[in-house]
A and B are shown apart, each in its own frame.
Chain A
Amino acid sequence: MLLGLYRYVSGYLDIQVSGERPERLVNLAVEAGMDLWNLHWRGARVYGRLLLRDFFAVRPLCRQAGCRVRVRGRHGLPFLRQRVLRRRALLAGALGCLVVLLWLSSHVWLVEVRGTAFVDARAVRQALSGLGLRPGAWKGRLHLAEVERRLPGVLPQITWAAARLQGTRAVVDVVERYSLRALPPVRRVDVVAGRACTVQRLVVFSGHPRVREGEAVTPGQVLIEGGVYIRSAPAPVLPGFPRPEPDLLLRPTVAEGQVIAQCTAVREFSVPLYREERVLTGHQRQRLHLRLGTRTWLVGGEPPFAAAETQRRGLAVAGWRNRFGPVELQLVTMREQRVIRHPIPLEAALQEVQNRLLAQLAWRLAPGDRVLRAVPEVVRRDADTALVRTVVETLEDIGRPVSVHVEPPE
């Protein structure tokens, strides 16, 4: 293959040898170090192939051997180049096409988000757009590792992200912080308490209730049992007495119902009584790193600032698709920052705590649940921070389905 490539790049000719002794010409050419191949007879002549550079040297040998050589075909890069240079418009079109193709393939044109179930993929795309990963972004400026690192900070509902480029498409796999799994098909499912609360209202759609309204329950306690019960004996109806409960299990079932309970929780936060602002001082330093594969060495530069904003610029051989060169020079520019602390009034800090708490609750609670009380109180306070305790009372559905293994009937 390499030999064929070399011949194509050098250019070669189809030749026709006529004369008395073509063997003599072949022997002379081989002795002179010429490359001859594909020699064959057709009619009364020998045909073969010869490198372009050997053609002018073969003429004296022809005279010596009493043969005549005629060119029947021209192949290879030198002839292709000649043909292409004659068609300048075609060449310009091909070059333009190549440039457009390169330009188009060096941008991201589609951002695909995978792994979302509860979080809207559009919200993830918007967050990615804020981090620079958007349709039309130049791939050379993308730092996917940085996007992966910063996305969970921008979108708290995301706990992990992995981004990769597939041609002009960026695929971002995300894992949500909270997710529900579909229950496997089982024959018996109980509804148990998810938290320690006091039952306020119990509505059973299917199954057998095991708690009463006003009863305090603990986490894991069965609230509605997944079973259909009947009475083992006819129940006498006595005026003034409740009817006895069914006591014989007929068959298991999937319990369904709504258990609304009042839950109380105490949350403590340590909140700062100041807000930090970072202001650029105008001082700037640079460092040079050398990256070889996954390892990085400091080549030179000045020591870093205590607080600084860093910008990293890579100098490497241009990558192609997802492949990047193993060697990269990284110029890190550090701009010094001065941290200024602005005091915050205690009321504002408490409001901030309450807002944060309500946001957390809004994420955890179901649409029908309500927050009854969430008032923060200062427990301890010093110069910079305050310890805030908040008693949170909620009215929520605490029922959680739990599958129970049932032995099959013999």
Chain B
Amino acid sequence: MEARRDWRHRLTSIFDLPGDVVLDLARVTLIGDVQMAIENHRGLVEYGPDRMVVSVPRGCLQITGADLVIGSITPEEIILQGRIHGLQFADSSAQRG
């Protein structure tokens, strides 16, 4: 598995391919600390006004902040608005805290 992933990494760097497509990763775009776009997500795990956990390929993404509002949510993308303080990648065992 590790060898296969390493092979993909090499292919991505040789042909200058977008990593989120080839490696099936989430693309996170942050605009200052007021907006965040998460593409290629796997759904909401937890949602609160100051903490949100989104399931992404190979784990979870934990966002902390204040007045977090989901501007829009589609199967492809989540637009998050509010005051974002931090984000942290965790493995898929992240639970409601």
Contacts and interface: CB of A to CB of B under 8 A. Distances in A.
Interface stretch (A24-32, A99-107, A217-225, A303-311): A24-32
Nearest to A39: B70
Closest 8 CB pairs of A and B: A39-B70, A41-B49, A40-B69, A27-B43, A23-B44, A37-B72, A23-B47, A26-B44
Contacts, number: 47
Contacts of B71: 37-38
Contacts of A39: 47, 69-70, 73
B69 to A, nearest CB: 4
B91 interface: no
Contacts of B74: 30, 35
A25 B48 CA distance: 14
A19 B69 CA distance: 18
Contacts of A36: 70, 72-73
Contacts of A48: 70
Contacts of B24: none
Contacts of B46: 23
A46 interface: yes
Given A26-B44, A31-B75, A41-B49, 9 more contacts: A22-B47, A26-B70, A27-B43, A35-B74, A37-B71, A38-B69, A40-B70, A41-B47, A41-B68
Nearest to A47: B69
A27 B68 CA distance: 17
Given A30-B75, A31-B75, A38 B47 contact: no
Contacts of B28: none
Determine the interface band of chain B, counting residues with CB < 8 A from chain A: 10 to 19
Interface in B35-70: 43-49, 67-70
Contact of A26 (B67, B69, B73): B73
B73 A23 contact: no
B77 to A, nearest CB: 10
Greatest chain B CB density within 10 A among A22, A27, A36, A48 is at: A27
Contacts of B72: 35-38
A235 to B, nearest CB: 98
Interface string A1-45: 000000000000000000000110011001101011111110000
